[in-house]
């Protein structure tokens, strides 16, 4: 079974930029790249690296999760029971309301191996969405770094909002975190604040694959 269809990444970025009234050149200046690169990303002629993608989403106040979605977030359906409202955490209520509003947008509770939505990024990185609960600002991903792959094509470090957790299942990654460097092997796990400058790269000759969970508090 082929991966689930994901809306064109560039088109979704352009939509968000236009909705915010930001020009292409203004976005390019904001994230420190050329306007021609932003144009190529928006038209699908080029794919962003992980670091460039996070820079774009930060500049546009756009969640990574939104890049997988073809439609705008559905309006929330009100919950009628005040007794339930007082007893259940607000984040859970938010998710339940989103499910009730449009259950077709739910990615889960079971996501088959052939049903994962996939984003191909630059520099040999692939993201596959493992699931999504509406209303939760969480990136739950199976991440693959192909041999020679890196989160930054330019070699620079990236920063973005959130707390990052990762577990490597195969291959090997080099994590640069601030002024330190770590070799991540199968069975190793990492966790850190994503605002810390960081970069992943695969110096090996086999793909590095792991599960990543990035939570952005709002």
The SS3 assignment for 159 reads: coil
Bridge-partner residues for 180, per DSSP? Answer: 177
- Which range among 43-52, 61-70, 73-82 shows the weakest confidence by mean pLDDT? 73-82
Residue 53, pLDDT above cutoff 50: yes
Percent of the chain clearing pLDDT 90 (strictly above) = 55
Is residue 117 within 8 Å of 68, Cβ to Cβ?
Answer: yes
Residue 200, pLDDT above cutoff 90: yes
- Closest alpha carbon to 96 in 110, 73, 77: 77
The backbone torsions φ and ψ at residue 7, rounded to the nearest 5 degrees and listed phi first, read -55, 145
Residue 184, pLDDT above cutoff 60: yes
Residue 64, pLDDT above cutoff 50: yes
Is residue 28 within 8 Å of 35, Cβ to Cβ?
Answer: yes
Please say whether the dihedral angle defined by the alpha carbons of residues 167, 151, 125 and 60, taken in this order, is positive or negative.
positive
pLDDT higher for 105 or 150? 150
- Which range among 3-17, 163-177, 187-201 shows the weakest confidence by mean pLDDT? 3-17
Average pLDDT estimate for 109-120:
87
pLDDT of residue 88: 46
Helices (H), the chain: 9-19, 24-31, 35-42, 50-59, 82-87, 90-101
Residue 218, pLDDT above cutoff 90: no
pLDDT of residue 87: 43
Band (pLDDT 50/70/90 cuts) for residue 217 is low
Sequence-separated (6 or more) residues with CB below 8 Å from residue 174: 181, 182, 183, 184, 200, 201, 202, 203
Band (pLDDT 50/70/90 cuts) for residue 83 is very low
Residue 107, pLDDT above cutoff 80: no
């Amino acid at each position: 079974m082929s991966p689930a269809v994901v809306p064109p990444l560039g088109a979704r970025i352009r939509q968000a930029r236009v909705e915010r009234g930001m020009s292409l050149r203004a976005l390019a200046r904001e994230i420190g790249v050329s306007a021609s690169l932003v144009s190529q990303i928006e038209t699908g002629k080029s794919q962003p690296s992980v670091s460039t993608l996070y820079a774009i989403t930060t500049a546009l106040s756009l969640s990574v999760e939104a890049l997988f979605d073809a439609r705008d977030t559905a309006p929330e359906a009100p919950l009628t029971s005040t007794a339930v409202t007082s007893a259940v955490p607000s984040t859970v209520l938010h998710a339940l309301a989103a499910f009730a509003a449009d259950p077709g947008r739910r990615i889960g509770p079971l996501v088959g191996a052939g049903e994962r939505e996939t984003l191909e990024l630059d520099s040999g990185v692939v993201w596959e969405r493992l699931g999504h609960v509406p209303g939760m600002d969480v990136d739950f991903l199976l991440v693959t770094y192909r041999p020679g792959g890196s989160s930054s094509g330019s070699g620079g470090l990236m920063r973005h909002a959130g707390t990052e957790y990762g577990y490597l299942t195969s291959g090997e990654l080099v994590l640069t975190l601030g002024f330190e460097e770590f070799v991540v092997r199968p069975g190793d796990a990492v966790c850190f604040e994503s605002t810390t400058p960081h970069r992943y790269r695969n110096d090996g000759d086999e793909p590095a694959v792991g599960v990543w969970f990035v939570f952005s508090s709002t």
